[in-house]
Structure 1
Amino acid sequence: MRKVLFLKSSILGDYSQSNALVDFAIKNWEANHPNDKITLRDLNESKLPTLDSELVSILRPTDGIELSSRQKEALALSDSLIAELKAHDTLVIGTPLYNYNISSQLKNYFDLVCRAGETFKYTEKGPEGLLAINEALVLKATGGIYGENAVIDQFFNQILPFIGVKKVTIISAEGIAYGDEMMQSAIAGAKDKIEKYVG
C-alpha cells in the first residue's frame, strides 16, 4: 500500500487546468489502487505565510531563542507540513506556470518544508535529502509551450531530490492558451500519460 500526498497549487480553483489534472490523477489512483492511502492538500486554501526576515529564523535550530507568537505559529505549521510529507512515500504536485515560475503558494510551501535537519542535511559531499519519498509526479499546465528545458522543470528536478525524493516524473499539458483545439489536445495527451503512469 502506497501513501500518496497530492498537492494543488493554483489560485484558480475549479477553473485551473493543473487542479483538474490532479483531480483526474486522484480518480485514476482510487480506481486502480483502492488500498492506497490518499491525502489532498490545496495550498491556495492553506494560506501559507511568506518567508520574511522574521520567519526565516524558524528554518534554523531554535534552541535557546525566544520566538514571537508569529514565529511559533509558523514553526508549528512547518512541523505539521513536514510530518505530513514524512507520512507519505509518494508525492503528486499540480502546478501552473505563473510568469515562468511556480505559484507563490507552492514557493511558500517549499520554503516551509525545506529545513536543515528535518528534510535535508549538509555533508562533506554536499546536501543529502532526508525524506523517504520514492517518487514524485509533477502535473504541469502552461499557457505557452516551453519543452523539457523550462525553468519550472529544472526547479522540480533540483528541489525534490534535494529533500530526498528518489524519482521525479513531469507530465505537461502545454499550449492551453493557444485556442480550444490545442488545449483539448494538450489536456488529452496529459491525461493519457497520467493513466499510464498510475497504471
Structure 2
Amino acid sequence: MATKSILRIDTSARRQGSVSRDLADAVIARFPEAEVVTRDLAADPLPHIDEGFVTVTKGSAQDTLSDKQRAMLALSDTLIDELQAADTIVIGLPVYNFGVPSGLKAWIDLIARAGVTFRYTEAGPEGLLTGKRAIIVMASGGTEAGSPIDFATPYLRHVLGFVGITEVELIHADKLAFDAEATIAGAREQVAGIAA
C-alpha cells in the first residue's frame, strides 16, 4: 500500500530530546511524498471524556445537548476525520509507568465510537477503519517491548485492531536507561527497514 497521507500522533511530554519524537521524524522522512497532519497531544492536550460525552455517544437527541457536549462531539468528529483521511498513522509512544501516556488514552477515548469507528455485530465487534497501516514508535527507559511488564504496546495494538487497523508495525527503542546509544542505533536500523 503506497502511503499518500499520514496522521502523526505525538505524545511525549518532552519537546526537546524526545526519542519517540526524533524517531517519528525519521519514520516520516521515509515517506517524502506523503501529506502529513500532526496531532501533538502534549502541546495541545485533549479533554478527558466525562459523563456528558458518554451520554451523547449513546444516542442523545441533538436538541437536548449542552454546549459542552456539542463541543466534545465536534472535537471527536474532527479527530475521527483526521484518522479516516490518513492511510498511515505514525504514533510516538513513550512508555510512562508501563503504559501509554494519558494524552494518548484521551485520544483513544475520543476516537473509539460505536457506529463510527467500530460496530457490534452478532459475530462480535467489527472495526470500521480498515485498509490502513499504523507504525508505533515506542521509547522506554526500562520496559522491554513485548515483555511481561509492557502494557503499552499490546494495549495500543489491541485498540488499533479493534477499530480495524490490523497492519501494525513496531519500532522500539526500549531499555534506553541501560544503553541509550546502542538502543537508538538499533531503532534507526528498524526505521531503515520500513517499506516506504
Task: Name the amino acid aligned to 1:46.
Answer: D
Aligned equivalent of 2:192: 195
* Native 8 Å contact 1:86 1:132 kept in 2: no
Aligned equivalent of 1:147: 145
How far 1:12 sits from its partner (Å)?
1.1
Structure 2 residue runs of 5 or longer lacking an equivalent are none
Aligned equivalent of 2:13: 11
Could you tell which deviates more after superposition, 113-122 or 150-159? Answer: 150-159
Aligned equivalent of 2:166: 166
How far 1:167 sits from its partner (Å)?
0.8
Aligned equivalent of 1:183: 180
Matched, 1:127 2:125: yes
Per-residue CA shift, 1:22-52, capped at 9, x if unaligned? 112122322xxx2x22222211122200112
Identity of aligned residues (%): 36
* Native 8 Å contact 2:98 2:143 kept in 1: no
Per-residue CA shift, 1:84-123, capped at 9, x if unaligned? 1111111110010111110011000000000001100000
- Structure 1 residues 46, 65: closer, same or farther in 2, change over 3 A? same
* Native 8 Å contact 1:11 1:44 kept in 2: yes
Aligned equivalent of 2:113: 115
Aligned equivalent of 1:25: 27
Q: How does 1:8-157 map to 2 (within 5 A)?
A: 8-30=10-32, 34=33, 36-64=34-62, 66-149=64-147, 150-157=150-157
Distance 2:10 2:62 in 1: 36
Instruction: Please identify which structure carries the higher helix content.
Output: 1
Could you tell which deviates more after superposition, 76-85 or 62-71? Answer: 62-71
RMSD over aligned CA atoms reads: 1.6
Distance 1:106 1:17 in 2: 17
* Native 8 Å contact 1:22 1:93 kept in 2: yes
Could you tell which deviates more after superposition, 75-84 or 55-64? Answer: 55-64
* Native 8 Å contact 2:175 2:183 kept in 1: yes
* Native 8 Å contact 2:6 2:86 kept in 1: yes
Q: Give secondary structure in 1 for the equivalent of 2:177.
A: coil
How far 1:134 sits from its partner (Å)?
2.3
Task: Name the amino acid aligned to 1:27.
Answer: A
Distance 2:133 2:106 in 1: 21
